[in-house]
Amino acid sequence: MSIQETQNIILGAGVAGLGAAYALNKRNEKSLIIEKDKTHGGLCGNFSINGFRFDRFVHFSFTANEQVNQIFEKSSPDIYRHIPNPFNIYKNKWIKHPAQNNLYPLSEEEKTLIINDFKKRKNISDKVPDNYEDWLRIQYGNYFAEHFPMVYTRKYWMCEAKDLETKWIGNRLYQPSIEEVIEGCKTSETPITYYSKEMRYPKYGGYKQYLKILAENQDIIYGENVTCVDAINKTIKTSKGKAFKYHHLYSSIPLPNLIGMLSPTPPDEVVTASKKLKCTCGYQISVGFKTNRIPPYLWWYIYDEDNIAARVYSPSLKSPDNAPTGCTSLQLEVYCNHGRYSDSELIQKTIQPLINQKIVFEEDILFIDIRFEDFANVIFDHEIYTNRHIIRDYLNSIGITTIGRFGEWDYLWSDQSLLSGLNI
């Protein structure tokens, strides 16, 4: 069997893998990307059903990085600039996001409980919180922490808040003053405090359009699932029996999968560390509607636990190009880390509650499509930094550079995943 030999092999044609190939091209270095899917994009990709287009989860661009913006703008000159004004559903009420400073729709009793607990918080500078639960209680007081983010943590991160560390939070959660909390209890006319000022989205082609120039003129082999990496002979093999030889290997595939396909088997310490990495899996429940009777919000969070969906967004509100004229669409996100739901169970526990609440209407639904992603969000448990350090150090020592969200094993947005590839 003849083995194709290339200077650089890149595993995965998501935004990180494409970014790496783009950077190597600029340095006049040859590269070959091996991708298991039939097209490029990875999580930034999309799929179409009866004239409707759905991204693989919500996806907007809010990057401040100049280099990424240039690539995205060149790829998609026509964009929508949405002002982020998401909402939340809590006890059947629509609450502006973030809930902590927009509590106006709540009962007077709940507002009083939240404000009182907010006032009783420990002094923020007194103690560095050991875990996310502590952080939430210190930031927001017990009642709000227990009824909002701690509940949401179970739906989104699939664990208890105490089991998470806190470095990943960054500016993701708004930390209002007591004055803002009280003001948000008195009026719905509060300023938008979302962490990004605009959410950009291609007018045509879905989020994947942003990757257009990255994928142009690249050598990509599609439909080849890499199953074995021989680090001594610098050879990879695919499930269809093809083999490729490399001088350097860049991998954007999830770390636990990569460790599982290495030959020779890595030291015990590395294998053990890879078994301890945790992430959520996720279902995308995509719904096409024949009318425009959907909520007017680009995306919304569901705090109520009788609906297992954590977040819903509207592809057709992101861009009308995502749905046929006169139609609209929603995609619901359900996370899980063990066991899977049946399709009918998913519909009963996600769409049905929305129908019962008269948020959507059964007679408007054209179709419901359910897809599953093995890797959605990396879980920041207390051992994540130690474990991923052990694994990435070992991979570096055998000449494998890991990139992207699941190669760096980090909570990277698409711009950060792209930069991880561009900066190899």
Phi and psi, residue 147, nearest 5°: -95, -15
Name the residue among 144, 33, 72, 140 with its Cα closest to residue 403.
33
DSSP bridge pairs for 164: 381
Q: Which is nearer to ligand FAD, 303 or 406 (CB)?
A: 406
Q: Which is nearer to ligand FAD, 100 or 414 (CB)?
A: 414
> How would you classify the pairing of strands 243-251 and 235-238?
antiparallel
**Site for ligand FAD contains 298 (CB under 6 A):** no
Of 20, 31, 59, 235, the one binding ligand FAD by CB under 6 A: 59
Structure tokens at 1: 């069997």
Mark the segment that binds ligand FAD (CB under 6 A) among 42-50, 76-84, 241-249, 390-398: 42-50
**Site for ligand FAD contains 273 (CB under 6 A):** no
Site for ligand FAD in 4-23 (CB under 6 A): 11-17
* Residue type for position 337: N
Contact 267, 231 (CB under 8 A): no
**Site for ligand FAD contains 133 (CB under 6 A):** no
Structure tokens at 98: 């973030």
Site for ligand FAD in 156-175 (CB under 6 A): none
**Site for ligand FAD contains 29 (CB under 6 A):** no
What is the per-residue binding string for ligand FAD in 305-334, x denoting contact by CB under 6 A?
----------------------------x-
What is the per-residue binding string for ligand FAD in 357-396, x denoting contact by CB under 6 A?
-------------------xx-------------------
Of 10, 226, 259, 285, the one binding ligand FAD by CB under 6 A: 226
* Residue type for position 99: A
**Site for ligand FAD contains 194 (CB under 6 A):** no
Token pair 């301890």 is found at: 276
Name the residue among 58, 61, 151 with its Cα closest to residue 417.
61
**Minimal distance, residue 127 CB to ligand FAD, in Å:** 32
Of 57, 104, 174, 372, the one binding ligand FAD by CB under 6 A: 57
Distance separating alpha carbons of residues 410 and 15, to the nearest angstrom: 15
Mark the segment that binds ligand FAD (CB under 6 A) among 22-30, 34-42, 356-364, 385-393: 34-42
Cis check: omega of the bond before 254, within 30 degrees of 0: no
Which three-class secondary structure state does DSSP give residue 186?
A: helix
Radius of gyration of the chain (CA): 23
Site for ligand FAD in 394-423 (CB under 6 A): 404-406, 412-415, 417
How is 100-153 classified by DSSP, letter by letter?
Answer: GG--TTS-HHHHHHHHHHHHTPPPGGG---SSHHHHHHHHH-HHHHHHTHHHHH
Of 6, 61, 218, 401, the one binding ligand FAD by CB under 6 A: 61
**Site for ligand FAD contains 235 (CB under 6 A):** no
Cis check: omega of the bond before 264, within 30 degrees of 0: yes
**Site for ligand FAD contains 177 (CB under 6 A):** no
Distance separating alpha carbons of residues 90 and 16, to the nearest angstrom: 36
**Minimal distance, residue 137 CB to ligand FAD, in Å:** 26
Q: Which is nearer to ligand FAD, 35 or 133 (CB)?
A: 35
Residues near ligand FAD (CB under 6 A) are: 11-17, 34-37, 42-44, 57-61, 225-226, 252-253, 333, 376-377, 404-406, 412-415, 417
